[in-house]
Amino acid sequence: MKRKIIALFLTASLAAAALAGCGKVDTTGKEDTQAEETEAVAENEAETESSEEIETVIEEETTQVQSGEEHLLFVNGYDKFFIVDSKGNKVNELDISELQDSEFTEYTGVTPMEYAEGVLYLAGTYYEGDVFCKDIVAYDLESKEHVAAYKVDKEEYVNAVDFYNGKVYVATYDYKGSGDTIRTSEKVLEKDAEALKYTVSDSPLNPVLAKISADVQSDKDGAADNYDFRKCFTRELEENGYLVAYKTGILRIYDENGNETGYPMNEDDYVSIVGYDSDNILINVTRYDIGKTERTLYCFDPKSGEKKLIDDSSKANTILYTDGFLYYYEDLSEEFGINNNHVYRYDPASNTSALIYETRNVPGAVYNPGITGFTVINGEVYFVDVMDRSFKWVRVNYDESGASYTDIYCTLKEIDKLKYGDVEYVSKTVKCPDCDTPLNKEYVEYFVFNDSVAHSAEINAELKAQADLAVENYEDYGTTCEEHLEYPEQFCVTEETRVDNIRFIGENYVSVDRSGYWYGGGAHGMPWAEYILFDLTTGEQKSLRDFYSGSDEDFANLMAEVAVRELETNKEFSNQVYNNEKEAVEASVKESTTLDTVTIRFEDKGVYVEYMPYVLGPFASGFVDLFVSYEELLGRDSL
């Protein structure tokens, strides 16, 4: 019985491999409370709240395979993942945290990579001293037995794990070459017929891969290329008849012997390969200028050398090339902070694109509507959407009359904050009165509590007033039309504020947790966070000053003591600060701490005092926080 994985990863933080054919894996993910994750969708904001507006098909859950294929549905950042048959019927439901606690205790983390013939393949991470290590772990779902099928070299990174023709192929890359070169290779894992044992060997393709790596990645430009195909090189070569790679100015096609055919491209363009098969290579061409980005999609015919235009709007973002079709989307929203994604399917045979569905995001749910988890099974599109206040897998049903969404009853996670109310938003764009160029964009979410929360009316009024004030207090650089017309992105100040979580502190307080990102040009913007505390007995907003009887100096001295203590016991804190000498940390904390200049996150047993990037450490350190108990801060054990 054939099995196949659909592994979906939200972010890519691994270094890029310049050779096409294998997708990257990022095993870092965050929960919705801290802002990097996904959720599941309705056709628009109103439809999301009304299940009657969305077509749902109730299917009996079964543990039996419904058809000849099984697929693994997984989104990085969530514990739940699912095995479904080729019609989308749920076969099995698993939980990463539960598996790690019960089966994989020797690993610090596990990430599903592939599923085939009853065996789940995961990347298991661990440390040997200070060295980060990774195994490819095989886990038999029936016997519950697992084994390290392949111990990845400490200097290697895993691109893809692919079950193909009865074998497991592991594509890796490393930096063992000189300078900035990346060496790409492939391992072959063969399972014993009688037991969960594996024989590991080098792929016969490795000499060809070494040649291609040397050709393509002889400079920094080649080493920066990024491809995501989730397939092994052997599959790509055997199914398509060639491998494809790109080096600045040349699109290169290689046969099984490493012989190359090159096609010249514009050296000033950044070319990424979206996907390819025996007949077509889909490429994304990007041109960068200060404050400007132009992006064009092409379909390249490797036989004739013809390059056909797909989209030159600079709005197209590619999703997936599979089964001879390219799926891409454009965000056509007219409101800053809101996504209104239109998803298209391009057919290279007719050189035409067709809209298959459009959807917009639900405020308070951090995901890319209609795109998160996007995959295609037997020609049908699946993605993660927001439905019934939860992130769920849905199947898209579309024809000429429009699209509807079927709940396949694979729920990733409930959106906890929506138990207590809804998230609303205000969005505003300020344009130059003379040339109509946007100068400032603001998006602010605010929470609206339902009647289950005491004093909800007073709290809601305050949160709405704060949101309205935020969009009115805009700023711009005061530039001339000539300046902001030439560099519209650099001279437009943007800020987004999102509701991350609702937390109850004891019985009398509730915290509305929000985070934001401000950008005013340059290499990056500035993240921030705030935790708005309300007294449920009065509806009034509270700050630490309402509880702490000491002065700003007293508070600064206390936090300096806490910082020195952390320095001596917490290696992570020591690595975050600019200077980890005791006197330097003590002085830095005292200088930057007042009751009004630090961010306070109230918890059940104490508070976290958060320092913005650049205050105690570099931008790369992110927020630096210090915990102080209520006993030490207030002389009692609770707020």
At residue 43 the predicted structure's pLDDT band, cuts being 50, 70 and 90, is very low
In a domain, 239, yes or no: no
CB distance 297 to 311 below 8 Å? yes
pLDDT of residue 180: 53
CB distance 403 to 396 below 8 Å? yes
Return the bridge partners of 136, or none.
Answer: 123, 150
Q: How many CB atoms lie within 10 A of CB 443?
A: 24
In a domain, 303, yes or no: no
Q: Which two tokens stand for residue 209?
A: 């891969």
At residue 18 the predicted structure's pLDDT band, cuts being 50, 70 and 90, is very low
Kindly state whether residues 514 and 588 are assigned to the same domain: no
For 329, residues 6+ apart whose C-beta sits below 8 A from its C-beta are: 316, 317, 319, 341, 342, 343, 344, 370, 371
The alpha carbons of the chain give a radius of gyration, in whole angstroms, of: 26
In a domain, 620, yes or no: yes
Q: How many domains are there within the chain? A: 4
Across the range 407-421, mean pLDDT stands at: 96
Return the bridge partners of 122, or none.
Answer: 112, 137
d(C-alpha 544, C-alpha 554), whole Å: 13
d(C-alpha 175, C-alpha 152), whole Å: 14
d(C-alpha 43, C-alpha 488), whole Å: 32
Kindly state whether residues 344 and 430 are assigned to the same domain: no
Kindly state whether residues 20 and 160 are assigned to the same domain: yes
445, 435, 446, 437: which is closest to 493 by C-alpha?
Answer: 437
CA 364 to chain CA centroid, nearest Å = 16
Q: Would the pLDDT of 22 be above 80? A: no
451, 452, 427, 431: which is closest to 440 by C-alpha?
Answer: 431
517-532 per-position pLDDT tens digit? 999 887 889 999 999 9
End residue of a domain, out of 183, 205, 227: 205
429 sits in which H/E element: strand 421-431
In a domain, 226, yes or no: no
Kindly state whether residues 405 and 428 are assigned to the same domain: no
Kindly state whether residues 101 and 20 are assigned to the same domain: yes
Q: Would the pLDDT of 288 be above 50? A: yes
Return the bridge partners of 271, or none.
Answer: 285
Q: Which two tokens stand for residue 483?
A: 């300046």
Q: 3-class SS at 247?
A: strand
Kindly state whether residues 391 and 451 are assigned to the same domain: no
Using the Cα atoms of residue 162, residue 206, residue 267 and residue 482 in order, give the sign of their dihedral: positive
DSSP state of 362: P
Q: How many CB atoms lie within 10 A of CB 607?
A: 25
Kindly state whether residues 445 and 475 are assigned to the same domain: yes
Kindly state whether residues 485 and 521 are assigned to the same domain: yes
d(C-alpha 384, C-alpha 179), whole Å: 41
d(C-alpha 553, C-alpha 548), whole Å: 12
109-137 per-position pLDDT tens digit? 999 999 999 999 999 999 998 889 999 99
Tell me how long the chain is: 639
544-569 per-position pLDDT tens digit? 999 999 999 999 999 999 999 999 88
572-609 per-position pLDDT tens digit? 888 899 988 899 999 999 999 999 999 999 999 999 99
In a domain, 338, yes or no: yes
CB distance 407 to 53 below 8 Å? no
pLDDT of residue 25: 32
d(C-alpha 26, C-alpha 203), whole Å: 24
At residue 164 the predicted structure's pLDDT band, cuts being 50, 70 and 90, is very high
353, 320, 357, 352: which is closest to 340 by C-alpha?
Answer: 357
Q: 3-class SS at 396?
A: strand
Runs of H (alpha helix) within 161-225: 206-216, 220-223
Dump strand ranges (E) for 51-155: 69-75, 80-85, 90-95, 109-116, 119-128, 131-140, 146-152
Kindly state whether residues 622 and 501 are assigned to the same domain: no
In a domain, 223, yes or no: no
CATH of the domain at 608: 3.90.640.20
End residue of a domain, out of 505, 526, 542: 542
198 sits in which H/E element: strand 198-202
Q: Would the pLDDT of 433 be above 50? A: yes
366-401 per-position pLDDT tens digit? 999 999 999 999 999 999 999 999 999 999 999 888
CB neighbour burial string for 483-505, b if at least 16 within 10 angstroms, e if fewer: ebbbbbebbbbbbbbbbbbbbeb
CA 380 to chain CA centroid, nearest Å = 23
631 sits in which H/E element: helix 630-634
pLDDT of residue 11: 29
In a domain, 259, yes or no: no
CATH of the domain at 430: 3.30.565.40
End residue of a domain, out of 145, 172, 205: 205
In a domain, 521, yes or no: yes
pLDDT, mean over the chain: 85
CA distance from start to end of the chain: 59
pLDDT of residue 139: 97
d(C-alpha 224, C-alpha 247), whole Å: 10
CB distance 246 to 225 below 8 Å? yes
Domain that holds residue 556: 546-634
Kindly state whether residues 443 and 535 are assigned to the same domain: yes
d(C-alpha 187, C-alpha 153), whole Å: 11
Kindly state whether residues 23 and 168 are assigned to the same domain: yes
d(C-alpha 628, C-alpha 638), whole Å: 12
CB distance 152 to 135 below 8 Å? yes
Kindly state whether residues 536 and 551 are assigned to the same domain: no
Looking at per-residue confidence, does 207 or 61 come out higher? 207
Q: How many CB atoms lie within 10 A of CB 595?
A: 17
217, 184, 207, 305: which is closest to 259 by C-alpha?
Answer: 207
Q: How many CB atoms lie within 10 A of CB 321?
A: 23
